[in-house]
Amino acid sequence: MIAQFVSQHLPALQVVVPLIAAPVCVLLRRPTLSWLFALIVTWICFAMSIALLIRLESAGTIVYEMGGWPAPWGIEYRIGMTSAIVLVIVSGIGSVVMPYAKASVAAEIDPARHYLFYTCYLLCLCGLLGVVATGDAFNLFVFLEISSLSSYVLIGLGRDRRALTAAFQYLVMGTIGATSIVIGIGLLYLVTGSLNMADIAARLPEPGTNRTVLVAFAFLGLGAALKLALFPLHVWLPAAYTHAPSAVTAFLAATATKVGVYILLRFIFTVFGATFAFTTMPLDAMLLALAVAAMFVASAIAIFQNNVKRMLAYSSVAQIGYMVLGIGIATQAGVAAGLIHLFNHALMKGGLFMAIGCVFLRTGSVRLESMSGIARTMPWTMAAFVLGGLSLIGVPLTVGFISKLYLIRASFEAGLWPFGVLVVLSSLLAVAYIWRVVETAYFREPTAEAARATEAPLSMLLPTWVLIGACVYFGIDAELTVDTAFRAAAALMQANP
């Protein structure tokens, strides 16, 4: 009976469970209790997303009508291959970060505020999942705001006062992004009279005949680019990631920007259609140019950073460049490569930020100079960092290699081989910034604080190694990711010819 109910309402429960759990978490108050509750909820979410992915094996797309109201009047949840992947990433990272968060949050956040942290965490998770699951444009905006507002709070919750400025700047930029998305949606509503994405797509006038559609396209593109931190609109990201509590950075870096990429994909392919975006509009050229700029400029900045978290944040901007590059190639193979990297980058950047969070826990600093010789006292943490770093560079047998291999292949197949070469060249910059950390941690004499440090607690190390282990596992056996990504890309390309 219950099983049937769950199975029938799975798409809704995926979003509703964390949404309802969040206020319950406020009532629990006690730090450990609220943590345990949030942990269970995230794991349930993860199980549900896996169940959805498995169900998609037999069904092409899962359509769910909220409250039984049929679209386009009611709100419709529409889960295809792409959304299923992103759901798994978001809930998976959410459930891995949770056990990690206990020790990390205890050290970095005032105990009186712990329950607020877990509440916001669940809200943020709910928002991110909602954005991905929904098939309704306005509903997407609502969930985007839920996730954004809660993430501003999460960033500002730490003891670092600079986090407040960072959160404020993110708030301003994030709000502009969301506003721009809602303007875009409004303009589309003006033209089509509908808020359901599939319905909008069906009602859009012939490409190139309507200026309103064109302006909507510009606003939506801008909003998505802001959310996914596409160069040069990434300026909010480094400070926010640097000063946020470690667990928040790991969670947001691995999920929030990925959802941004998903929004971009969703609007390009299922609302406007690939033909409109890439043939009528020169979006592919813009994306390619900005992606290359991100790959090089952000990597170059990362090389000169002395704050390792900030360095990783800039590296994220560069890695987002790779995903956008894949989308900009605008073939099935390109979009698939972008999706593969979306999945892989979530694993490696999550793992890297978690490793650096372990260092912060023990030394209280993430400055490069304070990490001198830290590998002697924290060998497991630094080994995880090195593996994650190798993955970021794209060394074979790690996920980074798989991403770059498919990106390069896609660019060659599309006749855009210079971009393949650029991918390889920009990887060299990653070698430089990762190597700086490795050299400092392994070959310098330990500073006093590094010598005093002990290995991070198992509750933090294990989740870190789960992600790093996944980096290696999916680097060797990439069949699942590659297969799923190609099917998702095929579905996207056919969505609206």
Partner 1 sequence: MEFALPPFLPFFLGALVVAVLRGRVQAGVAILVPILGFANLWFGMPGAPETLQILDFTLVLVRADELAMLFGWLFHIAAFIGLVYSSHLRDTTQQVAALTYAGSALGAIFAGDFITLFIFWELLAVSSVFLIWARRTPRAIAAGFRYLLINVFSGVILLAGALVHLWETGSLEFSYIGLEAGLAGWLILLALGVKAAFPFLHNWLTDAYPEATPTGTVFLSAFTTKVAVYALARAYPGTELLIYIGGAMAMFPIFYAVIENDLRRVLAYSMINQIGFMVCGIGIGTALALNGAVSHAFNDVIFKGLLMMSMGAVLHMTGRINGSELGGLYKSMPITTVLCIVGAASISAFPLFSGFISKSMVMQAAMDEGYPVIWLALLFASAGVFHHAGIKIPFFAFFAHDSGIRTTEPPLNMLLAMGVSAVLCIGIGSYPDVLYGMLPYEAEYHPYDWSHVITQTQLLFFSALAFVWLNLTGRYPPELPSVNLDAEWFYRRLAPRAVGGVVATLVAAHAVLDRFGQRQMDRAVAFVEHHHGPEGYFARTWPTGSMVALVALVLVASLVFYLA
Binding interface with partner 1 (CB under 8 A)? 166, 168-169, 172-173, 176, 180, 211, 214-215, 217-219, 221-222, 225-226, 232-233, 235-236, 238-239, 281-282, 286, 297, 300-301, 303-306, 314, 396-397, 402, 405, 408, 412, 424, 443, 476-479, 482
Nearer Cβ to partner 1, position 34 or 180? 180
- Check if the beta carbon of residue 109 is closer than 8 Å to that of residue 245: yes
Question: How does 274-299 read in b/e, with b if 16+ C-beta sit within 10 Å?
Answer: bebbbebbebbeebbebbbebbbbbb
Give the CB-side neighbour count of residue 194, counting CA atoms within 13 A.
19
Q: How far is the CB of 398 from partner 1 (least distance, A)?
A: 12
Q: How far is the CB of 312 from partner 1 (least distance, A)?
A: 14
Q: How far is the CB of 118 from partner 1 (least distance, A)?
A: 29
Nearer Cβ to partner 1, position 71 or 313? 313
How is residue 368 annotated by DSSP?
Answer: S
- Check if the beta carbon of residue 136 is closer than 8 Å to that of residue 75: yes
Q: How far is the CB of 237 from partner 1 (least distance, A)?
A: 11
Nearer Cβ to partner 1, position 82 or 180? 180
- From the number of C-beta atoms within 10 Å of its C-beta (0-12, 13-18, 19+), residue 218 rates as middle
**Cα(349)–Cα(480) distance, integer angstroms:** 20
Nearer Cβ to partner 1, position 70 or 282? 282
Nearer Cβ to partner 1, position 238 or 351? 238
* Number of other CB atoms surrounding residue 149 within 10 Å: 18
Nearer Cβ to partner 1, position 13 or 181? 181
**62 bridge partner residues:** 79
Q: How far is the CB of 85 from partner 1 (least distance, A)?
A: 18
Q: How far is the CB of 238 from partner 1 (least distance, A)?
A: 7
Q: How far is the CB of 462 from partner 1 (least distance, A)?
A: 21
Nearer Cβ to partner 1, position 380 or 412? 412
**65 bridge partner residues:** 76
Nearer Cβ to partner 1, position 236 or 465? 236
Question: What are the φ/ψ torsions at residue 204 (nearest 5 degrees)?
Answer: -60, 140
Longest alpha-carbon distance in the chain: 68
**Cα(497)–Cα(493) distance, integer angstroms:** 7
Q: How far is the CB of 319 from partner 1 (least distance, A)?
A: 17
Q: How far is the CB of 107 from partner 1 (least distance, A)?
A: 25
Question: Cβ neighbours of residue 347 under 8 Å, at least 6 residues apart?
Answer: 254, 391, 399, 467, 470, 471, 474
**Cα(406)–Cα(247) distance, integer angstroms:** 31
**Cα(115)–Cα(32) distance, integer angstroms:** 9
Nearer Cβ to partner 1, position 64 or 419? 419
Q: Give whole-number Cα distances, 132 to 86, 244, 268, 288, 340, in Å.
A: 7, 24, 14, 24, 17
**477 bridge partner residues:** none
